Amino acid sequence: MIDGERFARYPSLRGKGVLITGGGSGIGASMVEHFALQGAKVAFLDLVRGPSEELVESLSEIAEYAPLFLPCDLTDISALKQAIQGAEKTLGLIEVLVNNAANDERHAWEDVTPEYWDKMMAVCLRHQFFAMQAVAPGMKTRGQGSIINMSSISWMIPSTGLPAYVTAKAGIVGLTRTMAHELGPSGVRVNCVLPGAILTERQRRLWWTPEYENEILNGQSLKRSLMPEDVSRLVLFLAADDSSAITNQSYIVDGGWV
């Protein structure tokens, strides 16, 4: 649980409508918790019901506004748009969008088919643009809004063993930069966050071996594991009015690896 006495509170987030994709687990779940405990009105999209419903239940008694979970397959753009409309009916206009959902499953470049490539772009990249397209009109009407797109340092290291994912994450940086200029005249900010190796439950379960941990710590300047909350606290800042002059930027949270 968040240490409310140690870390910053952002009054400008209280009561704001926040939408987070992939919010049922990992970094996404941490962001749902952090925004909810700032007093924001949070909706999140995810495919997996069990952990998502448990997250809502765990926060419903301690947050000012219980998060709203909307099951959604983000590769179905029509369903994505309907879910965003549903969130806005409940929360009002979305003022903060965090494009978080992705899948970093490993894959050998020799085995990638056109179908697999298209699937990975749909899972990791395409929905980010269409989520922005859906919330931007409401943000433009208000003359303000903050969009945070989640990329990765994977394309900067560069990583191997997941080329489609790496390509998508590099594309997110370019998408962020062009949309910052598209939406900036209307007062809407678009920034990007690039996490390094974050110790989520998924990472621990699938890939976090002692050898991999040694590789990470040897690469990082800071010799400790990075946790989801290390990312969430930066996202809070970029969503809050404290960062109202910041757009078109990419922020790395990797313990000094890159």
Catalytic site residues? 165
Determine the Cα–Cα distance for residues 118 and 29; give it in Å rounded to an integer. Answer: 26
Closest CA to 193 of 244, 242, 132, 254: 254
Instruction: Kindly report the number of other CB atoms within 10 A of residue 244's CB atom.
Output: 12
| Contact call for residues 32 and 56 (beta carbons, < 8 A) | no
Q: Are strands 41-46 and 17-21 parallel, antiparallel or unpaired?
A: parallel
Residue whose tokens read 């594991």: 225
Closest by alpha carbon to 24, among 87, 70, 60? 70
Residue 4, judged by CB atoms within 10 A of its CB (0-12, 13-18, 19+), counts as: exposed
CA distance 252 to 82: 32
CA angle 165/226/40 to nearest 5° reads: 85
**CB-facing half-sphere around the CA of 78: CA atoms within 13 A:** 0
Contact, 10 vs 33, CB < 8 A?
A: no
